[in-house]
Amino acid sequence: MNEITSVRAREIIDCRGIPTLEVEVTVEGWAKGRFAVPSGLSRGSHEAFELRDGDTRFRGLGVRKAVENVNKIIAPAILGMDALSQREIDRTLLELDGTENKSKLGANAILGVSVAVAKSASSFLDIPFFKYMNQYAQILPLPQFNLINGGKHASNDLDFQEFIIMPEGAESFSESLRIASEVNFILRDILLEKYGKSALNVGDEGGFAPPISDVREALDVLSEAVKKSGYEDEIVYALDVASTHFYDRNEGIYTFQGLKLSREEMIEFYDSLISDYPIVSMEDPLYEDDFEGYAELTKSLDIQIVGDDLFVTNPKRLKKGIEMGAANAVLWKMNQIGTLTEAWDVAQIAMRNGYNVVVSERSGETEDETIADLSVSLNCGQIKTGAPVRGERTSKYNQLLRIEEELGENGMFAGKKWRKLY
């Protein structure tokens, strides 16, 4: 019968000690699926609504209201439904909420149920989750390892948010993880020698947060670590600029590290960085609503331009970007849109139109490893889930090691192929 027999939500805490929602769904009284909803600190203004309590508990960040919405509103509506009918269930969730941005029930409440249903279905069928979502799943993603943090993710004066390595020359996912870990060890030693113990502080996503304010200085330190590791020929770089956070909407300029730059000057700055460092991907290099600027930048720079705040995993914004030629990749975060089905469809729209998809974590993560499975299910070839340290990050990497083992010879590591998968 595949009937949903139980739906239960609870309040847990994420890696920052901030509450989030965990949902358990049971099928036929025994097959359980569980999902812990992540939460972002660096959020685009067009993301779906995350419901918080706003009272005195946890400085107003509790999620008891979202928990209650699951237990008292959503659960009665989907009990008895077929757990294998994901689209029908997600449609029911959207109808229960009835708002454009999930502001009635909360996108966190809705997503928690949506993904937990899918995981309970895979448990019921005794199929690994990545295969349940796509029986043809076979591509292990190339990770984007965030080794230096700045912006909203750190307490230093770096305006750019993430400085990333991509070991695309590795022969396997497991080798890419080993390379990144070894580079991270060396980076730690370099930072300690150059800046002292305070440089070993880490940001929200596990990357080091050294006392650096200059973008080039951060890239130079990262380059030094890569060269000392012996993997210089295997590694390329990526940046998450998160430029909306230092964009002045009133003046229409970008203010960072003492500079005040126009859109055109920002593009020139990026061009100079690409000339001096092996940067192959930039995320959110311009203000989140500057579709025209993104189109201009995408034409000017022959690299991957990833829209996070630009697209917020939203089909309407992605379609607008495709029509205008703005960016050429989408950062894929389920909680930006609210249901598994909607997020899945956004990825399909992107890939059908030649846009890359980068499955991504949030700064507020838990030990939940679901996005690791989904990165393989989508066959998208890229995942971004932080530094290779701390349990909320390594849970994803360790799950990918298990999937790599399970796929065996049937699996393919994206490696350098990430550029031309579709």
The whole-number average pLDDT for the span 318-332 is 98
Asked if residue 131 is part of any domain, the answer here is no
Interatomic CA distance for residues 48 and 66, integer angstroms: 14
Interatomic CA distance for residues 202 and 328, integer angstroms: 30
Quick check: pTM over 0.85? yes
Q: What percent of the chain has pLDDT over 70?
A: 99
Mean pLDDT across the chain: 96
The whole-number average pLDDT for the span 349-371 is 97
Residues 214 and 88 in one domain: no
Interatomic CA distance for residues 404 and 172, integer angstroms: 9
Asked which of 126, 161, 195 is the last residue of a domain, the reply is 126
Catalytic residues: 205, 333
pLDDT-based confidence at residue 80 (cuts at 50, 70, 90): very high
Residues 416 and 307 in one domain: yes
Residues 156 and 103 in one domain: no
Asked if residue 357 is part of any domain, the answer here is yes
Residues 200 and 177 in one domain: yes
pLDDT digits (tens, 9 = 90+) for 227-238: 999 999 999 999
Range scoring the smallest mean pLDDT among 145-149, 156-160, 212-216, 310-314: 156-160
Identify the pLDDT of residue 42.
62
Asked if residue 175 is part of any domain, the answer here is yes
Asked if residue 296 is part of any domain, the answer here is yes
Asked if residue 389 is part of any domain, the answer here is yes
Question: SS3 string of 40-53?
Answer: CCCCCCCCCCCCCC
Asked which of 77, 93, 126 is the last residue of a domain, the reply is 126
Identify the pLDDT of residue 45.
81
pLDDT-based confidence at residue 153 (cuts at 50, 70, 90): low
Asked if residue 60 is part of any domain, the answer here is yes
Residues 196 and 69 in one domain: no
Within 10 Å of residue 272's Cβ, how many Cβ atoms?
A: 11
Interatomic CA distance for residues 307 and 329, integer angstroms: 6
pLDDT-based confidence at residue 297 (cuts at 50, 70, 90): very high
Residues 41 and 143 in one domain: no
Within 10 Å of residue 352's Cβ, how many Cβ atoms?
A: 10
pLDDT digits (tens, 9 = 90+) for 128-151: 999 999 999 999 999 999 999 998
The whole-number average pLDDT for the span 209-224 is 96
Asked if residue 134 is part of any domain, the answer here is no
Comparing C-alpha atoms, which of 63, 193, 139 is closest to residue 420? 139
> What string of DSSP letters covers 148-201?
EE-GGG-SSS--S-EEEEE-TT-SSHHHHHHHHHHHHHHHHHHHHHHH-GGGG-
Residues 99 and 146 in one domain: no
Identify the pLDDT of residue 203.
83
Identify the pLDDT of residue 40.
79
Identify the pLDDT of residue 420.
77
Identify the pLDDT of residue 422.
59
Range(s) of the domain holding residue 9: 4-126
pLDDT digits (tens, 9 = 90+) for 112-121: 999 999 999 9
Into how many domains does the chain fold? 2
Asked if residue 132 is part of any domain, the answer here is no
Interatomic CA distance for residues 51 and 406, integer angstroms: 38
Identify the pLDDT of residue 177.
98
pLDDT-based confidence at residue 157 (cuts at 50, 70, 90): confident
Judge whether residue 379 has pLDDT over 90: yes
The whole-number average pLDDT for the span 291-313 is 97
- What CATH number has the domain bearing residue 413? 3.20.20.120
Measure the CA angle with vertex 137, ends 132 and 138; round to 5°.
Answer: 145
Q: Is 26 within 8 Å of 4 (Cβ atoms)?
A: yes
The whole-number average pLDDT for the span 309-335 is 98
Phi, psi (5° rounding) for residue 139? -95, 120
Residues 21 and 95 in one domain: yes
Which residues in 310-355 belong to E strands, given as ranges?
A: 329-332
Identify the pLDDT of residue 152.
78
Interatomic CA distance for residues 181 and 232, integer angstroms: 14
Residues 157 and 108 in one domain: no
Measure the CA angle with vertex 115, ends 412 and 377; round to 5°.
Answer: 10
Residues 143 and 108 in one domain: no
Residue 75 to residues 150, 233, 243, 339, 349, Cα–Cα distance (Å): 40, 53, 40, 16, 31
Interatomic CA distance for residues 35 and 25, integer angstroms: 9
- What CATH number has the domain bearing residue 59? 3.30.390.10
Residues 225 and 275 in one domain: yes
Residues 59 and 179 in one domain: no
Identify the pLDDT of residue 285.
98
Asked which of 57, 92, 126 is the last residue of a domain, the reply is 126
Higher pLDDT: 363 or 415? It is: 415
